[in-house]
């Protein structure tokens, strides 16, 4: 069994004359990310590896989560402005020693991808997190593997 966790970046700001890629997190986003990462760690959501979009708001969300997890982080351009096939491409590049991975990415791509692998209808709020159990031993088996939603956390609804 493998576990795939999808995290939409936390609430971002859009200061004047800032490119989309360089948008920082808003103060609310910093709080959301700290709250969600602690919630997940306290609820024993195990993660071996983080892969983030290199965009500032996604990577900063990932770095805040890593204050709770202290694991390896890598970035992948395919998670910025992603299509569903971008997510699959990143999945197929994963080492099979990684049993649980979290991707930090953006809407609409992250919502579309979650909906493409699940019967459940998702619209990710900022810093929303969905966890899936993938019935496979190798990430190369992802496409044909049975997928089951384990959890969906909305930062506005967790304590």
Q: Binding site: residue ranges?
A: 57
Instruction: Measure the CA angle with vertex 88, ends 82 and 94; round to 5°.
Output: 115
Q: 127-139: string of b/e by CB count within 10 Å (b at 16+)?
A: bbbbbbbbebeeb
The H-or-E segment that residue 50 falls in is: strand 49-52
The H-or-E segment that residue 147 falls in is: strand 147-153
Q: Binding site for substrate: residue ranges?
A: 57
Beta-bridged to residue 2, according to DSSP, are 134
């Amino acid at each position: 069994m493998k576990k795939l966790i999808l995290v939409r970046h936390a609430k971002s700001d859009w200061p004047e004359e800032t490119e989309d890629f360089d948008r920082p997190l808003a103060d609310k986003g910093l709080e959301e990310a700290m709250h969600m990462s602690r919630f997940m760690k306290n609820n024993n959501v195990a993660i071996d590896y983080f892969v983030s979009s290199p965009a500032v708001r996604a990577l900063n969300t990932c770095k805040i989560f890593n204050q709770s997890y202290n694991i390896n982080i890598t970035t992948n351009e395919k998670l910025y402005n992603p299509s569903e096939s971008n997510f699959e491409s990143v999945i197929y590049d994963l080492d099979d020693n990684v049993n649980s991975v979290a991707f930090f990415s953006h809407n609409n791509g992250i919502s579309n991808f979650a909906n493409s692998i699940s019967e459940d209808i998702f619209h990710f709020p900022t810093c929303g997190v969905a966890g899936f159990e993938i019935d496979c031993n190798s990430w190369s088996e992802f496409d044909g593997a049975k997928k089951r939603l384990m959890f969906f956390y909305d930062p506005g609804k967790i304590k």
